[in-house]
Amino acid sequence: MNLVERELTREDIIYLLNSEGEEQNQLFIRANELKNNYFGNKVLLRGVIELSNHCRLNCLYCGMRKDNKELTRYRIDNIEKIIEIAKVIKSNGLNSISLQSGDDYSYPISTLCKIVSNIKRETGLHIILVLGERKKSDIEKLKLAGADMYILKLETVDKIAFKNLRPETSFEKRFDLLKFIKDTGYETSSGFIVGLPSQDVEDLADGILLLKEFGINNASVSPFIPSDCTPLSSLPYGNLNLTLNTLSVMRLVLGKINIPAVSAFNLLDTYGQSKALNAGANVVTINYTPPENAIDYIIYTTNRHIVKLMAAKDLLDSEGLESGLII
C-alpha cells in the first residue's frame, strides 16, 4: 500500500493496525523514515517530576486510584526543592520539563503557579503539565504563569468503555477540557492505552482520526499494564505488536508531532522502548522524581520501570540516536 502519498482512510488505518510479519516491518520502516525526515537522528529528552500521587478518581486500570489503600501517598510541594530539580534537568542538557500528578485537587493552584513561573524564570525550560482534569480557571492560571503544554490523554474513544473505566468522569467532559486547553493557548498532547477491556482496532482508528481532526501537537500510546491493587489486575497485558502498530500509524497520520517511546514498552519486552524508537517515536522521558517518592508513583505495577539519565543515554546510543532535539 502507498502509505503517505495519499490521506489514509479509516479502512487503511484499520488494515495497518492489524498488520503482521513483513507488512508490519514495512509499516515500521515507513514510520521510522518519516520520523528521520522530520527529526534526523535527534531524540527529544524530557525530564519528569512526579509531584503527587494523590488522586480523587477511581479509574479501574490505574494503581493511583483513590481506593488503593496499599499505596503510600506523597505530595512534593516544596518549591525550592522542585526548582533545584529543574536546574539539574537544565544542566543535564534537557530543554523540557514535565510536572505530573494524579487528579490531586488538594495540590494548591497557587503553589503550582509559583512552581511554573519560577521554573520559567530560572531555567527557561519548556514546561509540560500532566495534572489531570483540573478546573478551567486553574488551567488558565497555569498558562499565565508560563506553562507551555498540557497532556490530557483520552485513553479510549469508546464512550461506554470510558464511563466504565473512569466512573467519575465522562469522555465528553474530558474532550471538552482538551479543547479548552487548546483554546487557552497551550500546545496539546493526548493519547490512548492499547489493550483496555472491550477495546478494538476500530476504536484505535477512530481515536487517531479524532486527534488528527483536533490538530494535536503531541500524541502517545501506552500498552495496558495490569496493575496490582486495581480491579483489572488479572487481565492480560496489552499486545506489544498492536501498540507498536498504533504508534507507527500515529506517525503516518499525524505527521510532524512528538511521540514518546513510553517506559511501559519495556515492561512488555526488554527492548520495548528501542522498538518504539524504531517504529516512529522521537521522545524519551527521564525520571527526576526524588527516589524516595518515585517508588510510590505507581501507575502501572509495583515493578515500575524508572528511566534515569544514564539508561536513556544507553538506549539512544544502542540505536545510533542522539539527544538534543530542541522544541
Taking the complex as a whole, the smallest distance from the CB of residue 6 to ligand 5AD amounts, in Å, to 31
Is the CB of 123 or the CB of 169 nearer to ligand 5AD? 169
Backbone angles phi, psi at 52, to 5 degrees: -160, 140
Residue closer to ligand 5AD, measured from CB, 126 or 153: 153
Count Cβ atoms below 10 Å from residue 212 Cβ, excluding itself: 18
In terms of CB distance, is 3 or 244 closer to ligand 5AD?
Answer: 244
Smallest distance from ligand 5AD to CB 25, Å:
26
CB of 3 to ligand 5AD, least distance (A): 27
Q: Record the cell numbers describing residue 66, joined without a space.
A: 483513590
Interacting residues with ligand 5AD (CB under 6 A): 61-62, 153, 155, 193, 222, 224-225, 227, 264, 299-300
3-state secondary structure 76-128: CCCHHHHHHHHHHHHHCCCCEEEEEECCCCCCCHHHHHHHHHHHHHHHCCEEE
CA distance 129 to 184: 14
225 versus 321: smaller Cβ distance to ligand 5AD: 225
Query: Which of 87, 305 has the CB closer to ligand 5AD?
Result: 305
- The DSSP-derived string for 182-232 is HHTT-EEEEEEEET-TT--HHHHHHHHHHHHHHT-SEEEEEE----TTSTT
Question: What are residue 218's DSSP bridge partners?
Answer: 189, 258
Check: CB of residue 39 under 8 Å from CB of residue 33. Answer: no
Residue with smaller CB distance to ligand 5AD, 17 or 131: 131
For 62, 112, 282, the CA distances from 147, given in Å and listed in that order, are 26, 10, 22
**With 0-12 CB in 10 A as exposed, 13-18 as middle and 19+ as buried, what is 121?**
exposed
Cell triple for 91 = 544542566
Question: Shortest distance, CB of residue 224 to ligand 5AD, whole angstroms?
Answer: 5
Nearest to ligand 5AD of 16, 225 (CB atom)? 225
Closest distance of CB 41 from ligand 5AD, Å: 28
The least distance separating ligand 5AD from the CB of residue 286, rounded to whole angstroms, comes to 16
Which residues are bridge partners to 48 per DSSP?
98, 287
Q: Give least dist CB 114 to ligand 5AD, A.
A: 24
